[in-house]
Chains A and B, each alone.
Chain A
Amino acid sequence: KAGVTQTPRYLIKTRGQQVTLSCSPISGHRSVSWYQQTPGQGLQFLFEYFSETQRNKGNFPGRFSGRQFSNSRSEMNVSTLELGDSALYLCASSLVQPSTDTQYFGPGTRLTVL
Chain B
Amino acid sequence: AQTVTQSQPEMSVQEAETVTLSCTYDTSESDYYLFWYKQPPSRQMILVIRQEAYKQQNATENRFSVNFQKAAKSFSLKISDSQLGDAAMYFCAYRGYGNKLVFGTGTILRVKS
Interface of A toward B, CB cutoff 8 Å:
33, 35, 42-43, 45, 48, 55-56, 58, 88, 90, 92, 97-99, 102-108
Contact = CB atoms under 8 A, between A and B. Distances in A.
Contacts, number: 49
Contacts of B105: 42
Given A33-B101, A45-B100, A108-B44, 9 more contacts: A43-B101, A45-B102, A55-B99, A56-B99, A56-B100, A98-B101, A99-B97, A103-B101, A104-B47
A54 to B, nearest CB: 12
Nearest to B46: A105
B78 interface: no
Nearest to A31: B99
A43 B91 contact: yes
Most buried by A among B37, B42, B98: B98
B47 to A, nearest CB: 6
Mostly, the A contact residues are strand
Given A42-B105, A98-B95, A99-B95, A48 B100 contact: yes
Interface residues of B, number: 21
B106 A105 contact: no
Contacts of A105: 37, 44-46
Most buried by B among A42, A43, A99: A43
A107 B102 contact: no
A48 B99 contact: yes
A102 B101 contact: no
Contact of A90 (B45, B97, B100, B106): B45
A90 B43 CA distance: 10
A56 to B, nearest CB: 5
Nearest to B45: A105
B103 interface: yes
23 contacts: A35-B101, A42-B106, A43-B103, A45-B100, A45-B101, A48-B99, A55-B99, A92-B45, A97-B99, A98-B95, A98-B99, A98-B100, A99-B95, A102-B47, A103-B47, A103-B101, A104-B47, A105-B37, A105-B44, A105-B46, A107-B42, A107-B43, A108-B45
